[in-house]
Amino acid sequence: MRKMRVLVAVIIAGAVVAYASPAYASTVTQLAVSNTGMFGGFNDVSDGWAVGGNGNGMIQRYNGTRFTTVTSPNLLDGSANAWASLNAVDVLSANSAYAVGTATGASGNPAVALRWNGSQWSRLAVPGATGAFTGVKAFSANDVWAVGDDATSQVRRTTMAMHFNGTTWSRSATPSPGTRNNNVTDVDGSSPSDVWAVGYSLNLPYGNRIRNSMILHWNGSQWSQVTSPNNGSTFLYDVVALSATDAWAVGSGSSGGAFVLRWNGTAWNSVAAPALTSLSGVTARSGTDVWVSGADAAGAPAVAHWNGSAWSVTPVTVTGGTGFPGLTAIATSDATTELAVGYQADGTTGQSSSTAFRVVG
């Protein structure tokens, strides 16, 4: 996000990152998904709902056996040469969920937001959102955050955070530390006054390629940037908040592959990472039960589990379909199960299809 999340290549900074063989710990089962057409990879998953892009946005729901398509609003408004994608979803209950994304080239504002009322998805008006939403966090039906970036020019992106009070969306001021680009990839929080947004920034001059980790915090009244470590050129893709003193953010860095940060209530610190080259998603039940999705040294999808003292890694085998597979997100499903989602991308045609997996540790 994402949410239009892009897994970082195995070859980093001109060198192949090598790791010792990981210990396999979990059982991963591929799930059936509905055909999503030419472009249909999943971008995010939450409580059995998965969203992605097939040119007009796509929503599927898990019934305990497979994912099936659920009718969603037309995001293109009949516009020619337009493209839409849903990048993130968050579920409150069986009767309340939110999904966000973007509809480039369509009429109106590019950023889009949808709401599930228990029987159908409907589109919410989001005035003033001229960029893309990449993450969403709902605390209640009248307390929802959507984050992303706002293109202020062809070469400048600024951070964006908008709040939904149950009726209207309003924009809050957010720091944009990068002098060129600022990319927000996800949002999560332990309470309405403890919200985290993560991503990465890029500074001028134009030849610079070094990204910096970026972490923003909402304290109930304002957003501020919080100091975060880097691992060479650093990308953060996902965040999960367990409490005011325990949160996790994951991504990758050019100086060591998979990158994990942990908040202790005072500061973000880099901590042990699994033997993978990049991480795309994180979910947790506690500080001793953390799951991540990512890619191994060969670029193949994998998941890993933290038990409080060590990581165990399990490869994810994709059957059927064509193209190179990747994982984009992972979420807790029940007390013993995670759902991981992603895509299979054809390097020749650029087409992709959705993939989903049940992970039992």
Instruction: Please give the Cα distance from 105 to 82 (Å, whole number).
Output: 4
Whether 48 maps to a domain, the answer reads: yes
* Residue reference for tokens 């939904």: 164
Hey, is 317 helix, strand or coil? Answer: coil
Q: How far apart are CA 184 and CA 200, in angstroms?
A: 7
pLDDT at 1: 37
- Domain ranges, residue 306: 11-360
CB 306, CB 313: distance < 8 Å: no
Q: What tokens appear for 320 in the block?
A: 């059927």
Q: Which residue has the tokens 């592959």?
A: 257
Q: How far is C-alpha 109 from the geometric centre of its chain's CA atoms?
A: 22
Q: Is residue 3 part of a domain?
A: no
| 34 within 8 A of 52, measured Cβ to Cβ | no
Which amino acid, 276? Answer: L
169-172 and 289-295: which strand pairing? unpaired
Confirm whether 225 is domain-assigned. Answer: yes
Q: Is 216 part of any domain?
A: yes
pLDDT of residue 144: 98
- Determine the distance from the C-alpha atom of residue 292 to the mean position of all C-alpha atoms in its chain, rounded to a whole number: 12
Q: Report if residue 285 sits inside a domain.
A: yes
- E strands along 53-95, which residues? 58-62, 67-69, 83-93
CATH code of 27's domain: 2.130.10.10
Distance (Å, rounded) from C-alpha 351 to C-alpha 84?
Answer: 15
Q: How far is CA 63 from CA 32, 49, 116, in A?
A: 11, 10, 17
Pair 305, 291: CB distance under 8 Å: yes
Going residue by residue through the chain (361 aa), what tens digit of pLDDT does each one get?
A: 344 433 333 323 333 333 333 445 589 999 999 977 666 799 999 999 999 987 788 999 999 999 999 999 988 876 666 788 999 999 999 999 999 999 887 555 689 999 999 999 999 999 888 889 999 999 999 999 999 998 766 667 899 999 999 999 999 999 999 999 999 999 999 999 999 999 999 999 999 999 999 999 999 999 999 999 999 999 999 999 999 999 999 999 999 999 999 999 999 999 999 999 999 999 999 999 999 999 999 999 999 999 999 999 999 999 876 778 999 999 999 999 999 999 987 766 667 789 999 999 8
- In 3D, which of 240, 168, 228 has the Cα closest to residue 201? 228
Note whether residue 2 is domain-resident: no
The pLDDT of residue 25 is 59
| Terminal CA-CA length for the chain | 25
Domain count along the chain:
1
29 part of a folded domain: yes
**Do the domain assignments include residue 92?**
yes
H/E stretch holding 341: strand 337-345
**pTM recorded for the entire structure:** 0.91
Nearest CA among 273, 299, 321 for reference residue 7: 299
What residues does 305 pair with on adjacent strands? 291, 312
Q: Given this model, what pLDDT does residue 155 score?
A: 66
Q: How far from 212 is each of 40, 192, 252, 329, CA to CA, in Å? A: 30, 27, 11, 22
294 Cβ contact list (under 8 Å, min separation 6): 7, 250, 258, 274, 276, 277, 278, 279, 280, 281, 301, 302, 303, 304, 327
Q: How far apart are CA 318 and CA 321, in angstroms?
A: 8
Whether the ω angle into residue 2 lies within 30 degrees of 0, i.e. cis, is yes
Helix (H) or strand (E) holding 127: none
Residue 257 tokens read as 């592959």
